Amino acid sequence: QASIVSKQGSSKTGVGARSMAADRRGRVNAGAAVSLTRRMTGAELRVQRELLGFSRAQLADILGITGGVIADWEDGRDPTPYHLPERVSEIAQFTEQYLRRLRSEFSGVGAVVTYRTDEAYQRHHPDPVYTASWHRRVCGRLLQDRPELTIEFHESRRANS
């Protein structure tokens, strides 16, 4: 079963210092390039957040802020901070690394296990990196690349065993 069960280093985003420095130009592997010399627009934040599979509250938790702050940024009521593109880029880079790992682990036919809820994800992985919706989104991207794979929920797999 492919899952990353603990955070790398002490970063809440699950990336260590080496991967944070990997792309200082702000390229986001999961989507469009984001410059570190300008503020991210609210629309860019929302698109990246949705692409990564997070609700406003989930991304706010990862960033250590409230969901209302994310809403204010996305809706244009407040400007985003200059460091936000780098933080989003770190999350996207970690996501791409995880997807590459899944691709290498599942090179043939098989079943990839994901989770219906955050609670189920946390029961199986006591220190999850992100959320069940993030994990499902990554599994969905894997399925696009490898249509011969199947995706099952962890609870369903145990019931069928």
The backbone region for 31, taken as left when phi is positive above 0, alpha when psi lies in -120 to 50, beta otherwise, is: beta
**Residue 109: pLDDT band by 50, 70, 90 thresholds?**
confident
pLDDT tens profile 46-80: 999 999 999 999 999 999 999 999 999 999 999 99
Burial classification of residue 137, based on how many CB atoms lie within 10 Å of its CB (0-12 exposed, 13-18 middle, 19 or more buried)? buried
Give the integer Cα–Cα distance in Å for 161 and 159: 6
Q: Tell whether the model's pLDDT for residue 125 goes beyond 70.
A: yes
pTM over 0.85: no
10 with 73: CB under 8 angstroms? no
